[in-house]
Structure 1
Amino acid sequence: MPTTPAEPTPSTVPAPAPTKHRRRKITRTKVAVSAALAAGVAGGVLVSANAATTAAAALPASATGDSRTVVEPKVPSTVCKTLTAGLSMTSRKSDAAKEAAPPDTARIQAALDACKQSGTGTVAVKLTASTSTSSSTAAKAAFLTGPVTVPQGVVLLLDTGVTLYGSLNAADYQVTGKPTCGTVTTDSGGCKALITVSGANAGVESVRASGGAQGTIDGRGDMTLYGKSVTWWALATQAKTESRNQNNPRMIQAVKANNFTLYNINLVNSANFHVSFQNATGFTAWGVRIKTPATARNTDGIDPAGATDVTIANSYVMTGDDGVAIKGGSAASKNITVKNSHFYGTHGISIGSETTSGVSNVLVSNNTITGTDTLGNASASSVGLRVKSSAANGGKVSQVTYLSNCITKVKQPLVFDTRYSGGTGSSVPFFTGILVNGVRSTASTANAKSVLTGYDAARPLGLTLANVSLDTTALTASYASVGLYNTNLTPSGTGVTTSTLTGSGTVPTCTFPSYPAL
C-alpha cells in the first residue's frame, strides 16, 4: 500500500447494500459475502443447539451505521481571514517569553470570532506559512497558541506544512473553580481543551498536498511544561500510580456542535484525548492522522459520546488508549460508522465503558488493528474489537456489526465484556444483536484470549460469529447465546449456548499497512 493513499483500503468485505456510504473502488482482495447478507436478510433468530426439528437460521441483518450519505469533505471555498506564521520552532519549542505567553492566541481567536456565521454557511480562517524573502531567511510555518474556540460556521484551516503548537503553560488552560491544570489531584476537569468547537457547521481541517503532506496540530504532551519539571504525559503516569487524576487538556472538544468535520489533519502528541464529540448530530472524520505513542496514557483517538450520525473513515490512529471509543453515558449514541481505517498500539475500536443511555446501530468495517505502535511499543491493553461496560455505568448495546476486520499482535482479539474492571452498581449492561462477520487475527501475544461475557441468565450476550479465524482460540465465556457459521471460535462456559447458522463467505485475507509519513 502506498504510504499516502487517497483512501486506505484494507482487505475487507463490502458493506451491505443498505448502507448509504459512497465508496471508491477498492483494489485489494475482499471477502465474498453472501447475497443474503449483502441484501440485509432479516429474521435471523437463533435456534437452540438441540432444536433438531427447526431449520437453521440465516445470519442476522447487518447494522447500517451513519444514516447520512457521506462523501469526502472539501475545504471551504471562502477564506474569511488569513493569518501568516511568525515562528519557526524547529525544535518544537520557542523562547521563554513566548512559551510564557503564546503570541498567536489572541490573533487566532480574533479572526475566528470575526468570521462567525449566523446561518448554515461555512468559511475558513486559514493559517499559512510566511514566504522567504532572501536565501538567508527561512520561511516560517509555526503558530504557538493557548486555548481557542471555533464558532459556528467556521473552519480552522491549516495550510500544508503548517504546525499549530499547543501552549506548555498550564495556566493558559485553567478552568475557573476547578483543580489546578497541570497537577495530579483527587478531582479532574481543571483544563480547557486546546481547541473548543462551540457551534454548528464548524471544522478543523488542513490542505493536503499531492504528495500527502498535511497541516499538523501538536499538543506537545511529551515536552516539559513551562515553569515545571514534568510533562503532560508524566502527569498521566503519576496519576495512575497514585490512583488519582491528572488535569491535562484535550486537544479538540466539540460539544453540541452539529455537523462537525475533521479533514486531512495531523493530530500529534496530545496531552489527553485527541478528539471528543459530545451530544450532537453529524460528525465526519476523514483523512485524519493521529500519532501519539502507545505509552502516552489516556490519549484516546476519537470519542463520539451522545452522538448520532457519525462517520470515521480513511484515517490512521496511533494512541495510548482507545483508538475509537463510542460512549452512551448521559445521552445515547447511534448510527455510527468506522470504516477503512488503521489503528496502531491502541486499546482497539471500542464501545463503552459508559453505555447507560444506550448505543445502537454501529457498523465497523474494513479496518486493521495492530497491537504495537510505529515505534515498537506494545499497547498496555492491546485489544482488537471491544464492547465494554459494567453495572457502574451500563446500559443496552444493540445492533453492532463488525464486517471484515483484520487484527494482529494483540492480547485480546475480541472482547464483549459486561463486567469490565469489576464495576458495581445498578446500571446493568445488556449487549445483544452483535454480529462479527469476517475477522482474522494473527501474531497474537503470549497467553492471548478473547472475552465473551454476558451479565447473567436474564441478560445474556447476544452474539453471532461468522467467517472468523483467530490464531488463538483461548477465551473466557459466560451467559452468552452465540450463533456460529464458519468459525474456529466455539465458546463454552456457564450459561453459554450455541447454535449453527447458515451463510456464506470466507475469512478475510489481511495485510497491514505502514503508518504514512507525516
Structure 2
Amino acid sequence: MRFQRRWVVALVLSSALALSGCSLVGADGRGASEGSGHVTDHPSPPTTTCETVTANLNMPDGMASADEEATPPDTDRLQSALDRCAQSGDSVVAIHLTGAGSDQDFLSGPLTLRQGEVLMVDPGVVLYASLNPSDYEAAGGGTCGTVSGDGKGCRAFIEVRAPNTGIQSEIVPGAARGRIDGRGGEHILGENLSWWDLAEQARSQNLPNVPRLIDANAADRFSLADVTLANAAGYHFYYKNGDDLSVWGVRIDTPGSARNTDGIDLDGVQNAAVVDSWISAGDDGIAVKATSKPSRGIIVRGNHLFGTHGISIGAVTTAGVNHVLVTDNTISGRDAFGNRSDASIGIRIKSAAQFGGKVQAITYRNTCIDAVSHPIVIDPDYLRKTGDHPPVFSDIRVEGLKATNSPANATSQLKGLDRNRPLTLRISDTTVDAAAVQTRDALIRAHNVTFDGKPLASLGGLVAEGADAQPHLPSCSFPAFPAG
C-alpha cells in the first residue's frame, strides 16, 4: 500500500509546548535541501615515501622524563623531515612515523606540514604534544597557558597552510591505529593545572589560551583518515577556508567533560565529506561554520558520536551555510568512557545576531539519538549575543529521527528569530520520547512527528500534523566506542 502524505502548515509565533555499528533504514527520496558535495572514496596513503622517522621513546603512561618534557626531543628532527619533503604542483609524498621495538612514541612541540605532504602515523605509534606553553606562543607571546585576552595566544600543535596535504594512519588487524595525543588532562609544565583546567577557569573569566591539536587553513585537498586524535587541549581538528576535504574513519577519543574540545570543525568549507568516524569530545562533535567564507556542499554520513554537543550548524554563520546533508548517524549522550553528559545534544542549528547569517537547505536524515539531554535544538539566540547579523534559518529538513532513553528533563527547541524571519522547517517520521519542546516564530510542516508519544500539535492553537498508519522511522542500534 502506498501512503499518501498530508501536510498541514502552521505558523508558530510565540509559544512553548510541553507535549503530555548502526542499522539505519529510513524513507527514500531526495530533497531540495540535500548537500551537493561529493563523497569521495576512502583516502589512500601516497605511493611514494619521502622520509621515515623512527621513534626513540617509550612513554607507556604518556609522560617522558623531566628533561624531555622541558625540551621535547623530536621537534627538530620531525620538522626537518617535513621541510625537506615539501612538494610543488600536484605531487604528494608520505612522511612515515614508525616504531622500533618498545620505542613507539614521539614527543614534539608544534609542527607545520608543507605542500604535498601526508603525515603517516604508523599503527601502534603515538605522537605526543608538548606540555610546555612556551613552545606554542603565538606572535606577540606571553599568553599561551593563561586565561586572558581573546584566547588566541597559542599556535596549534600541527599547522597546515598548504594544499595536497593530510594526516593518516592505516588499519592493521590486531594493532592500534596511529595516535596523536594532545595530553589535555595532564599538568602543563611548571603548573599544577591542565589545559582542560584552564578551560574550566574560563567559564567566568575571559578566554583560555590553549593550543588546537590540528589547525588547517586554505589547505585544499586535505585528507584525515584512520587516525586517532585524543585529549586535545582545545579543538581537535579545525579546517577553515578550504575546498575538497575528506575525513574518513577518524577516531576522536576524549572525555565529554573536557570543555571546548570540539571534534571536527568545518569553517568556510566547500565540497567536504565526514564519513564513518567515531567521535567522543567535550563540545560539538561535528560543527559546520561560516566566518568569512560560505560553507556548502557538505556530507556528514555514517558517524557515531558520544557525549558531545551533537552535529551542529553554527554558531558563527555570518558568510552563510547551505546544502548540507547529515545522514545515517548515531548520537549517544554517554562519552567513550561511559560517562553521561548533562550537556549532550543531538542535532543542532545555533547562531545569534552577533555572528549570524543565512542557514538554508540543511537536511538531517535517518538520525538515531540515545540518552541525550537536548535531542533537537534550533536556536537563533545562542548565548544571547546581540548585533547586526541576524541569523535566518530556512529550508531545514528533519527526515527520520528517533530519540530514546532521554533524561526526564530533556528539552528540544524549534525557534526562529522573529515573525519576520521565522524558522522554516519540514519535519517528518520523527519520534522523541521526551515531552518538552519549545517553539517560537516557526513555520513548521510536520508529518508523523511525536514527542512523548503525542503528535506535534496545538502549536499556538493550530494543527501542524499529518500522519500515516505506519511512520517510516529509522531502525536504531548504538555500537560501543571501539578499542584500539
Equivalent residues, number:
460
CA distance in 2, matches of 1:503, 1:263: 43
Structure 1 stretches of 4+ with a deviation exceeding 3 A read 27-30, 491-505
Of 149, 154, 173, the residue aligned with 1:210 is: 173
Partner of 1:77: 47
**Structure 1 unaligned regions, length at least 5:** 1-26, 41-60, 132-138
1:33 aligns with 2:33: no
Partner of 1:49: none
Partner of 1:193: 156
Q: Aligned AA for 2:473?
A: V
**Residue 282 (structure 1) shift:** 1.0
Partner of 1:6: none
Asked if 1 retains the 8 angstrom alpha-carbon contact of 2:226 and 2:249, the reply is: yes
Query: Quick one: higher RCO (CA 8 Å, sep 6+), 1 or 2?
Result: 2
CA distance in 2, matches of 1:77, 1:120: 13
Partner of 2:195: 232
Partner of 1:44: none
CA distance in 2, matches of 1:338, 1:114: 35
Partner of 1:24: none
**Residue 29 (structure 1) shift:** 4.7
1:292-330 Cα distance to aligned partner (Å, 9 max, x none): 101100000000001111111000000000001110122
Instruction: Determine helix, strand or coil for the equivalent of 2:364.
Output: strand
Partner of 1:184: 147
1:105-163 Cα distance to aligned partner (Å, 9 max, x none): 111111111111101121011000013xxxxxxx2000000000001110010111000
1:339 aligns with 2:301: yes
Asked if 2 retains the 8 angstrom alpha-carbon contact of 1:62 and 1:435, the reply is: no
Greater CA deviation, 226-235 or 172-181? Answer: 172-181
> Cα distance 1:87–1:66, how it changes in 2: closer, same or farther (>3 A)?
farther
1:401-432 Cα distance to aligned partner (Å, 9 max, x none): 01101001111110111112212111111101
Asked if 2 retains the 8 angstrom alpha-carbon contact of 1:365 and 1:404, the reply is: yes
> Cα distance 1:436–1:119, how it changes in 2: closer, same or farther (>3 A)?
same
Partner of 1:453: 415
Partner of 1:512: 478
Partner of 1:147: 110
Partner of 1:475: 437
> Cα distance 1:194–1:383, how it changes in 2: closer, same or farther (>3 A)?
same
Of 384, 398, 414, the residue aligned with 2:360 is: 398
**Residue 253 (structure 1) shift:** 0.3
Instruction: Determine helix, strand or coil for the equivalent of 1:280.
Output: strand
Q: Aligned AA for 2:217?
A: V
Greater CA deviation, 208-217 or 264-273? Answer: 208-217
Partner of 2:128: 165
**Structure 2 unaligned regions, length at least 5:** 1-20
CA distance in 1, matches of 2:403, 2:32: 21
Partner of 1:46: none
CA distance in 2, matches of 1:97, 1:66: 51
Asked if 1 retains the 8 angstrom alpha-carbon contact of 2:110 and 2:156, the reply is: yes
Q: TM-score, structure 1 length as denominator?
A: 0.86
Q: Aligned AA for 1:228?
A: E
Q: Aligned AA for 1:162?
A: V
1:346-368 Cα distance to aligned partner (Å, 9 max, x none): 01111111011110000000000
> Cα distance 1:497–1:182, how it changes in 2: closer, same or farther (>3 A)?
farther
Of 83, 92, 112, the residue aligned with 1:113 is: 83
Partner of 1:57: none
> Cα distance 1:420–1:491, how it changes in 2: closer, same or farther (>3 A)?
farther
CA distance in 1, matches of 2:22, 2:390: 42
CA distance in 2, matches of 1:503, 1:354: 41
Asked if 1 retains the 8 angstrom alpha-carbon contact of 2:448 and 2:465, the reply is: no
Of 327, 331, 346, the residue aligned with 1:365 is: 327
Asked if 2 retains the 8 angstrom alpha-carbon contact of 1:404 and 1:508, the reply is: yes
Instruction: Determine helix, strand or coil for the equivalent of 1:71.
Output: coil
Partner of 1:65: 35
1:294 aligns with 2:256: yes
Greater CA deviation, 414-423 or 177-186? Answer: 177-186
